[in-house]
C-alpha cells in the first residue's frame, strides 16, 4: 500500500524555558486506515506493530505553567460591613417602673457578631456608671440583652443607654442610644393632718404637720409656704422634722411668713430611702386674727 508522507510542524511549550518552539515531525498518512474498535489492540489495520511506536506526550493542562495557581475567585472577600443593631426595649423616653430592668434588642452581621458593648450614663451623678460592659449575646436568635442594676441609675433622673456591636473582623456598628427616666416601684404617701381643711389659721403662726410613710422608709419631708398677699413663697424647700417611730412630720410656720386677712398656701412632699418623691399634698387657708379683744365691760355702772 502506498504511503503518503507529509511534513507537519508541531509546536511544543518548554517548561524550563517558558517558551514555545517549533519542530518538524514526519507523519505517515494511510487513507485506507480504519481504526479498530478493540481498545486493547496494539496493531494497525495493515498488521504493523505499534507497541514500539514513538508517541508525543503533550503537557496536560494541569502541568502547564499557564495554569499556575491563581486566587480563588469564588472565595468571599473579608467582611467590611459593620453589624446592624437595634434596641427593642425599653422605648426612648419611657419611664421604667423599677431600678432594675433589662435592656435588649437584635443584631445581625454578614459574618459573625463577636460582642455587644453597653454604656450607661446616669444624669443623677453626671457620669458613666457602665462603660463597655459585655451584653449577653444569643447567636442562634440574633438577640442581645443586658440587666441594668440599681447601682447604675438614680431614681427620678434621666439615664442614657448606649449600645454598640462588633463582628469577628473588627467592624463596629454605630452607637445606638435611647434616653429613659427611672421610676420607683412605690412612692411615699404623705398627708396633712393639721391645720384642718377649710379652717382659718392664726396670723401669729401655727403648726403644720401630718404623716409620711413608705415601705423603704422616709428619707426626708420638705415644706413650702406661699403668701398670697405678697405673691411669692416665703418658705422654700425647708426640711420638716420627722419622727420615724410614728411616721409623723411637723413644721412651725412663723407669723413673718404669712399675712393677716390673706390666704396662705401650704405644700408638702416626702422622699423615701430609694430617692423616690411622693406626690404633693397641699391646701389653701385664710389667715385670721385669733386674739381676744382687750377692754372692760360695765354692768350697772360697775366695771367688771
Q: How confident is the model at residue 64 (pLDDT cuts 50, 70, 90)?
A: very low
**Which of the pair, 245 or 6, is modelled with greater confidence?**
245
Tell me if domain 84-182 and domain 189-288 are identical in fold: yes
Q: Read off φ and ψ for residue 65, nearest 5 degrees.
A: -65, -15
Q: Read off φ and ψ for residue 150, nearest 5 degrees.
A: -60, -30
Tell me the average pLDDT across 75-92: 88
Is the bond into 90 cis (omega within 30 degrees of 0)? yes
Q: Which grid cell is 115?
A: 460582642
Architecture of the domain defined by 189-288: Sandwich (2.60)
Q: How confident is the model at residue 215 (pLDDT cuts 50, 70, 90)?
A: confident
Q: How confident is the model at residue 26 (pLDDT cuts 50, 70, 90)?
A: low
Q: Do the beta carbons of residue 108 and residue 144 sit within 8 Å? A: no
Tell me the average pLDDT across 277-293: 89
- For residues 189 and 301, what is the distance between their CA atoms, to the nearest angstrom? 61
Q: What element of type H or E holds 117? A: strand 113-122
Q: How confident is the model at residue 234 (pLDDT cuts 50, 70, 90)?
A: very high
Q: How confident is the model at residue 163 (pLDDT cuts 50, 70, 90)?
A: very high
Of the candidates 278, 122, 109, 265, which has an alpha carbon nearest to the alpha carbon of residue 201? 265
The SS3 call for residue 191 is strand
Q: Return the CATH number of the domain spanning residue range 84-182.
A: 2.60.40.10
Predicted confidence at residue 264, as pLDDT, reads 97
Question: Domain boundaries in the chain?
Answer: 4-67, 84-182, 189-288
pLDDT, tens digit (0-9, with 9 covering 90-100), for 45-60: 455 555 454 444 444 4
pLDDT of 38 above 70: no
- For residues 155 and 130, what is the distance between their CA atoms, to the nearest angstrom? 16
| Number of C-beta neighbours around residue 215 at 10 A | 10
Q: Do the beta carbons of residue 221 and residue 212 sit within 8 Å? A: yes
pLDDT, tens digit (0-9, with 9 covering 90-100), for 242-260: 999 999 999 999 999 999 9
pLDDT, tens digit (0-9, with 9 covering 90-100), for 100-134: 899 999 999 999 999 999 999 999 899 999 999 99
Q: Which grid cell is 132?
A: 463597655
Least confident of 12-26, 51-65, 220-234, 260-274: 51-65
Q: Which grid cell is 257?
A: 411668713
One-character DSSP codes across 224-276:
EEEETTTTEEEEEEEEPEEETTTTEEEEEEEGGGS-TTSEEEEEEEEEETTSP
Average pLDDT value over all residues in the chain: 81
Amino acid at each position: 500500500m502506498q504511503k503518503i508522507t507529509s511534513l507537519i510542524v508541531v509546536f511544543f511549550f518548554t517548561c524550563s524555558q517558558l517558551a514555545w518552539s517549533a519542530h518538524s515531525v514526519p507523519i505517515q498518512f494511510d487513507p485506507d486506515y480504519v481504526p479498530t474498535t478493540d481498545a486493547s489492540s496494539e496493531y494497525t489495520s495493515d498488521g504493523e506493530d505499534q507497541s514500539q511506536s514513538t508517541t508525543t506526550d503533550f503537557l496536560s493542562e494541569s502541568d502547564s505553567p499557564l495554569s499556575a495557581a491563581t486566587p480563588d475567585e469564588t472565595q468571599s472577600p473579608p467582611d467590611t460591613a459593620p453589624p446592624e443593631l437595634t434596641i427593642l426595649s425599653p422605648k426612648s423616653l419611657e419611664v421604667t417602673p423599677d431600678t432594675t430592668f433589662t435592656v435588649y434588642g437584635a443584631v445581625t452581621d454578614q459574618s459573625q457578631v463577636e460582642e455587644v458593648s453597653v454604656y450607661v450614663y446616669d444624669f443623677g451623678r453626671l457620669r458613666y456608671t457602665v462603660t463597655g460592659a459585655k451584653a449577653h449575646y444569643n447567636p442562634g436568635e440574633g438577640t442581645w440583652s443586658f440587666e441594668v442594676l440599681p447601682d447604675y441609675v438614680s431614681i427620678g433622673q434621666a439615664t442614657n443607654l448606649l449600645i454598640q456591636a462588633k463582628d469577628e473582623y473588627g467592624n463596629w456598628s454605630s452607637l445606638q442610644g435611647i434616653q429613659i427616666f427611672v421610676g420607683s416601684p412605690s412612692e411615699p404617701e404623705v398627708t396633712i393632718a393639721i391645720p384642718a381643711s377649710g379652717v382659718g389659721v392664726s396670723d401669729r403662726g401655727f403648726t403644720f404637720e401630718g404623716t409620711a410613710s413608705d415601705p423603704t422608709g422616709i428619707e426626708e419631708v420638705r415644706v413650702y409656704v406661699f403668701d398670697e398677699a405678697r405673691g411669692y413663697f416665703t418658705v422654700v424647700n425647708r426640711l420638716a422634722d420627722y419622727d420615724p417611730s410614728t411616721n409623723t412630720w411637723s413644721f412651725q410656720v412663723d407669723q413673718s411668713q404669712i399675712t393677716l386677712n390673706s390666704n396662705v398656701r401650704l405644700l408638702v412632699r416626702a422622699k423615701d430611702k430609694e430617692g423616690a418623691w411622693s406626690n404633693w399634698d397641699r391646701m389653701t387657708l385664710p389667715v385670721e386674727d385669733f386674739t381676744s379683744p382687750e377692754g372692760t365691760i360695765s354692768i350697772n355702772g360697775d366695771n367688771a
